[in-house]
Structure 1
Amino acid sequence: MKIQEIAREAGVSPSTVSRVFSNHPNIRGEVREQVFAVARKYGYRPRLSSKQQNVVIVSPYKTVYPIRSYVEMVISELALALSARGFRIEMLPQDNLGQLERIRFCAAVSIGIDAEEFGDWEECFASPLVIVDRDAPAGTGEIYSVRSDEHQAMELGIGCLAAHGRRNIGTVIYGEAGTGNADLRREGALLALKRHKLPATARHVRFALAESYVEEVGKLLKLGIDGLFAPGGNAGILAAYALSLYNRRVPEEISLVTSERTMYSRYAISPQTTISQDYTAQAEAVADAIDSRLRGMPFPRRTVIPYKLIERDSVNLLA
C-alpha cells in the first residue's frame, strides 16, 4: 500500500501522512489517530527515518525511584551510548508525556515506566519505544524492553552467602509488594533459597521501606539468620544502620550482601559485597534496539541483561 492510498482513505493529503509518520509536532491528535488506524487496517508499517536523530528519554516520577542515583546512572550511560552513535537526547519527565505529540523524535526511551502508561503507542507514533527496567507487552508493535535479570540477581546474592557457609539467610527487599520489581525479586529470592536447600519461608523474605527497615531486619534476626541479603534502593546504608543498632558486627557475626551504591558500598565499614546492574551493557542494548529499528532490521522484543557480583569484605567464610 502507498502513502497516497492511505491519504485518500484517511481524507488527508499525502504530505500530512508523511508528517504523521515522521512525528511532526503540528498534527492534530485526531488526524494522527485516523492515519494510523488506516495504516493498521491494511497492515502498513511506515519506514522509520534515520535522518531524524532526536531520542526522547522519559524519566519516572520520584515515587517510582526515590533513590535517584539509579535513574542518574541509567541516564548517564544512555547519554554516552546514544551520543556515540550520533543521536541527540531530549529529556522529558513522566508528568509531561502529553508533550510527546509536540516533539519530533526518532525513538523514545522510558526508565521504569510500565508500557500501559504510554497508551496505544502505535495509534500515535511510528517510532520505537524502548522501556528500561520493565517488560514490553507481548505483540508485534514498536515497543521493546531492556531490563536486568532480577531472578539471576537474587541467585547471585543468596548464592554468594550460601557459598560462604551461610545456612540461614534473610532477605529484605527495598520496596512494597505490587510495585516496581519487588514481586519479581521476592519470587527470585524464594527460588534461590530453595535451590540452595535453605529455609525458604515467607518470614525469610520481607519487604521494607526506609521507615520500616530497622524493624524488618529485627524480625529476621529473631529467626537466627547468619546472612542478610538487602537488594534494592539504598538498602546498603539502611541494612548497615539496622545491624549496628542491633549490635551485630559485619562480617564477624553476620554476613551482608546489598545493592551497589558505589559512593557508599565501597567505603562502608566493612566495604560491602554487592549485586550491580550492568548499566553499560543495558545502555548499549537500548542503542542497538534503536539503531536496528531505524535501519529496518528486526530486534528482540525483550532483552535481559545479567547482574554482576562485586565482592568486597562484608561476607566472610565460616570456619
Structure 2
Amino acid sequence: MKPVTIRDLAEAAGTSIATVSRALSGAPKVGRETRSRIIHLAEELGYRSGNHRKTIGVVLPSVEVPRFDAYTATLQKALTLEIYRRGYRSIILSFEDIELLNETLVDGVLSFDFLGRIGRHWPHIKSLPLVCLNDLPNNLDQVYSVASDELQGMKLAVDYLVSRGHRRIGFLRYLSPKFWKDIRRQTGFLAAMREHRLESTAFVELYNTQSDYNALGALLDKNVTAIFAADGESSGARVQGILQQFGKRVPEDISIVGWESEQLSNFLRPRQTTLAQNFPKLAAESLNLLEHLMDGTPHQKNILVEYQLIERDSVAIL
C-alpha cells in the first residue's frame, strides 16, 4: 500500500499542507477543532512522517488520589526510562486531561490510573492501543493489563510471617471500593491464611482518612502479633507512627509488613520489611505488550509480575 503523504492528509482535511504541518508539530495558530480533526484523520489514514519516532502517551493517576505520590513518581520514572531506552518519545498527562490525546499524534498509550475505569471507557475515548498498568483490563475491547500479582504477593508475605511463628495476623485496608487492588490484596491475604488453616485468626479492618487510629486499635484489641498495611507505600510509616501513640514497639510488641518505598522503608526505625513491586519489569512488560498491540499482533494476554519480599527489621520471630 502506498504510504500516506502530508499532501494526501491535507487534501483529506481540506486544509493547506502548512496547516497540517503546524497541527502535527504542535505549533500555535491552529484552531483546536482543526488540530483535532487533522490528528484524527492522520490516525485513521495511517499517516507517518518520514522521520517519525513513535510517541507513547502516559496517563498518570487521577488527582482524586494525591496520597500516591511516591508510587506515581517511582512508576513514572521506570516507564520514562524504558520508553526512551527504546527510542520513543512520551507525552505525560493526568487522567483529567485525557482529551488532550485528541490534539497530538500518538501511537499507543500506557495508563496507570488505577481506579478501574479507563479500560472500560477507552473505546469511547480513543481508537488507540492501550495497556493498563496495575489497573483492570477490558479484553473484549483489546485493552490488556500488566499488573503486580497481588495474590502471589500476599501469599509470599503470609508464608513469611507464619514461618516466623505468627498466627494472629491483621490486615488494614482503606475502605474505598475504587481501590480495587486493595480488595484483591485482602482476597489474597484471606486465601493464604486459609492455606495455613488460620482463617479464624485472620482479621481485617477497614478505615478512611479519619478512622485509621480506631481501625488499628481494633486490630490490637484482637491481640494480633503482626499487621499488614495494605494500601500503599506510605501506609507502613503511618501505621508505625500510630503504634507509637498506642505505646507499642516494633517489632518487640507487634510486627509490620508494608509496601516498599525507596524513599521511606529503609530509613524507618526499625527498617521496615516490605513487599516490593518490580517497577522496571512492569515498565518493560508494558512496553513489550504495547509494541505488540501497535504492530497489530493478535491474541494478546494480561501479564502478572511477581512481588519480591524485602526482609528488614520490623518482623519478630515468636
TM-score normalised by length of structure 2: 0.81
Q: In 2, distance between residues paired with 1:288 and 1:127?
A: 16
Residue of structure 2 in register with 1:213 after alignment: 212
**5 Å matches for 1:115-194?**
116-117=117-118, 121-122=122-123, 125-141=126-142, 143-194=143-194
Residue of structure 2 in register with 1:223 after alignment: 222
How big is the shift at 1:54? 0.9
Residue of structure 1 in register with 2:239 after alignment: 239
Q: State the secondary structure of the residue aligned to 1:228.
A: strand
- Which ranges of structure 1 fall in alignment gaps of 5 or more residues? 5-11, 17-22, 37-45
Q: In 2, distance between residues paired with 1:299 and 1:78?
A: 24
The residue type paired with residue 279 of structure 2 is: Y
Distance 1:261 1:218, change over 3 A: same
Distance 1:299 1:272, change over 3 A: farther
Question: Percent same amino acid at aligned positions?
Answer: 26
Distance 1:231 1:119, change over 3 A: closer
Q: In 2, distance between residues paired with 1:120 and 1:48?
A: 26
Distance 1:119 1:265, change over 3 A: closer
Residue of structure 1 in register with 2:285 after alignment: 285
TM-score normalised by length of structure 1: 0.80
* 8 Å contact from structure 1 (residues 275, 310) kept in 2: yes
Residue of structure 1 in register with 2:54 after alignment: 53
Q: In 1, distance between residues paired with 2:139 and 2:54?
A: 27
**5 Å matches for 1:22-101?**
26-28=35-37, 51-101=52-102
Q: State the secondary structure of the residue aligned to 2:270.
A: coil
- 1:114-172 deviation digits (Å, cap 9, x = unpaired): 5644665446644311111112113152x221111111222122222111000111111
* 8 Å contact from structure 1 (residues 169, 199) kept in 2: no
- Which ranges of structure 2 fall in alignment gaps of 5 or more residues? 14-22, 25-33
* 8 Å contact from structure 1 (residues 135, 302) kept in 2: no
Q: State the secondary structure of the residue aligned to 2:263.
A: helix
Count the aligned residue pairs: 292
Q: In 2, distance between residues paired with 1:284 and 1:92?
A: 20
Q: In 2, distance between residues paired with 1:241 and 1:53?
A: 46
For the aligned residue pairs, the C-alpha RMSD in angstroms reads 3.2
* 8 Å contact from structure 2 (residues 59, 110) kept in 1: yes
* 8 Å contact from structure 2 (residues 109, 131) kept in 1: yes
Q: In 2, distance between residues paired with 1:306 and 1:300?
A: 19
- 1:257-314 deviation digits (Å, cap 9, x = unpaired): 1111222211211111000111010000111112223333346331111111000011
Q: State the secondary structure of the residue aligned to 1:99.
A: helix
